[in-house]
Structure 1
């Protein structure tokens, strides 16, 4: 039974997990979705509800093919869309319309594999999609009892203007993510600026929570937490940010496990904002977080727990 490693096979985190599996004599294969159709292909039979993954390079797998049903688990690190092929003159080899259609066909075929429920997906495509709508995650966490920062999500300028006027400090975040957070530069009359911004795209505004950043790695029922100290609003912008192991209250640990499971995840990294009063405000749950640097800086054994999730039987 193989473990699938979904992402670029040259990625350090993918290679790290592969090495850990190899040390346990667990067979694995690489599945870089950007190279789907060139380095590896799929054949699926709906009647038998099984499929084959075919490998064109021996460096991807120790076998020429592996069945869906013989894939024990899959580690979802990164989904990479196909690249537009170009001619020697750097011209697109196909029209954008044809490329878009082909990419949809590729994605639908991959979905035959991603939706194969006998595989233990760590994590599933649905869990990954939930991360693309952070307000959905906040709603689930809030129902479980988590503190949620006061937020506005949308593109209605009259409501956005009222929200910003009612808050002393406001943070701007993309609805889907992908960019770092920043403070909203509040002005006496923000309505014209908001009209322009929200005419282009919806946004997320949140009340700024003064305090510190805490990240909890949830692996099954285990919770490993770190405090991230930074002078920046978003520590991802700070090359000098420092991390240290921290202990969070048992009630917050249990809440972290409940949020992870409610979002359909086997593991995740939950970002909290710990307020000056000691309350933990839920920000997001990342289903495919980076962890190598945290392991190196703190000595936490995230790899061992993650490999255990991939190799242990489902329950």
Structure 2
């Protein structure tokens, strides 16, 4: 027997047991919002159809449930790579189910791109995360300082960059998570490996780390104290809620709006001279690590945004003052 998803529903897509998604779902239910979760693992139970004509129309079937996508209020996306889902990996006919999962993922992303409903976040807006150098340029255009940066496959260029700037760090240039490490003499024997993988190198900035979660027109900031180059891998790091200078808060919101995101997680640092640097911006932030340590309610803010169904279409706010961006180099 077919059961209809309530009109004006908030759709969530991902793994229901994943902490970030489950926190948002719980917050939405506390608000009394009509919520429907599409469990990405149940790919065999999922069918989505789109029709084009005078606009894009579609519907979703999930098990016994039916949803008219034209009536959806908002959509929160936290999908995993469909090819890595247990139901796909362990399937007897793996290729057939993989193809179906990828087609379903593509259709879902297509609908998320064109629907008038609020989407957190649209695939086109999240695409900037695939290029860290591009993100750096966007941050500089808003007024953030950025570290001197080199993206290269030339070991000699790396050594020259290191000689020029002293202590430098390296990281992936893509959206794939990587550990930020300091380049030392211990890496000399392996430095030739950059010939096979374009790598981003930056002058190391010394200062205080900040994580800023932007949700619509709100900014939730935390300061992070850590002895590690990459605090994400420091279990002893200290996270505390803080208030940003007004112009830094405004710049954080403006950067999020500039790329078309409704929610973001910015990695900032205030150096010893008081300059504010932006290292990167996560378009699908797993905020629970910071929320659990700071006491902030990012999940509730996202739930409020989704329940409202209102997009952040207002123009960027003028900052109180601009910061001079650092040098952005390339080779």
TM range (shorter): 0.7 to 0.9
Alpha-carbon deviation of 1:100? 6.9
Alpha-carbon deviation of 1:209? 0.3
Distance 1:203 1:307, change over 3 A: same
CA distance in 2, matches of 1:293, 1:166: 36
2:47 counterpart (20, 41, 46)? 41
Is the CA contact 2:28–2:304 (under 8 Å) kept in the aligned structure 1? no
Counterpart position of 1:141: 139
Counterpart position of 1:253: 249
CA distance in 1, matches of 2:97, 2:185: 42
1:228 counterpart (224, 228, 236)? 224
Counterpart position of 1:2: 9
CA distance in 1, matches of 2:210, 2:110: 37
CA distance in 2, matches of 1:71, 1:186: 56
Alpha-carbon deviation of 1:99? 7.5
Is the CA contact 2:73–2:118 (under 8 Å) kept in the aligned structure 1? yes
Question: What does residue range 121-200 of structure 1 map to in structure 2 within 5 Å?
Answer: 121-176=119-174, 177-186=176-185, 190=188, 193-194=190-191, 196-200=192-196
Counterpart position of 1:60: none
Instruction: Please give the root-mean-square deviation of Cα atoms over the aligned residues, in Å.
Output: 2.3
Question: What does residue range 57-76 of structure 1 map to in structure 2 within 5 Å?
Answer: 64-76=65-77
CA distance in 2, matches of 1:104, 1:17: 25
Is the CA contact 2:153–2:194 (under 8 Å) kept in the aligned structure 1? yes
Gaps of 5+ in 2: 1-7, 314-331
**1:300 equivalenced with 2:317 (yes/no):** no
Alpha-carbon deviation of 1:50? 0.6
Alpha-carbon deviation of 1:278? 1.5
Deviations 1:250-293 (A, max 9, x none): 11111111101011111211111211111111011111212234
Alpha-carbon deviation of 1:211? 0.9
Distance 1:257 1:206, change over 3 A: same
CA distance in 2, matches of 1:4, 1:216: 25
User: Matched residue of 1:290: which SS?
Assistant: coil
User: Matched residue of 1:46: which SS?
Assistant: strand
User: Matched residue of 2:32: which SS?
Assistant: coil
Counterpart position of 1:23: 30
TM-score, normalising length: structure 1: 0.86
Alpha-carbon deviation of 1:34? 4.6
Counterpart position of 1:79: 80
Deviations 1:48-103 (A, max 9, x none): 5211111116xxxxxx111221111111233332344447xxxx7456xx777656
CA distance in 1, matches of 2:299, 2:100: 36
User: Matched residue of 1:146: which SS?
Assistant: coil
Q: After alignment, is 104-113 or 294-303 more displaced?
A: 104-113
CA distance in 1, matches of 2:292, 2:194: 42
Higher-RCO chain (CA-CA 8 Å, sequence separation at least 6): 2
User: Matched residue of 1:115: which SS?
Assistant: helix
Aligned residue pairs total 299
